[in-house]
Copies of this chain bind each other. A is one copy, B any other.
Amino acid sequence: MNNATPQTCPVTDRGLHLRAACLACHGVPNHGQRQLVRGDVLFMQGDPADRIFAVASGWLREYVLNADGGHGGARIVHAGQIVGLEALGGATGAVYGVTVDALRPASVCAMPASGVRSWLRVRPDDALALAIATAEDLAEVRQQMLANATLPAEERVLGLVRELVGEGAGDAWVRLPATREQLGDVLGLTLETVSRMMQRLASKGIIEVRGSHVRFV
């Protein structure tokens, strides 16, 4: 990627300026950013929560482990989203309640929570923007909750594939950033059911499937 060409950052696109560096970064951050490759863990459930992360590009996964160590549930994290908000409160002893790792290569800006707090304290507009952005995320989570609670497996799989392929893709082939098993974790389904539903959608002529590549028709 050409660093000489400033690009819009999906985080600041949402009106979120979490610190001076973030304001000035123009999508090419040079402080505190981490490059993740597939499988890298950003933070683990139970780690002390002291940093907030803004996803500049790539795909991450957020999941909880239940008592017996198995995956309890998961969520796909897009570019532009914030993770690790548990840290914002700054309570001593606060820990992350989820684990976040990379599904595909990703760039993530790490910000010490204390720095974000002091930034927001003198920039009420930004604090307001963060509250608004968080409220929007909350609405989105609720939407996902709705989908998980009521809809049959086929529609849930279709919805997730739509989300992952993105609006702009049109009818081009797109590589899904997650395996069938990871999609299943997100939807609360098994990998076999995800596979079956994708085949069923294909047989209905809604999508074409070829391994991890998918295309809307």
Contacts and interface: CB of A to CB of B under 8 A. Distances in A.
Report the copy number of this chain in the oligomer. Answer: 2
A89 interface: yes
Chain A interface, DSSP helix/strand/loop, else mixed: helix
Interface string A131-159: 11011111101111111111100000000
Contacts of A144: 145
A117 interface: yes
Contacts of A88: 128, 131-132, 135
A124 B188 CA distance: 39
Given A123-B124, A188-B148, A188-B149, A139 B85 contact: yes
Contacts of A122: 124
Given A121-B125, A121-B128, A142 B188 contact: no
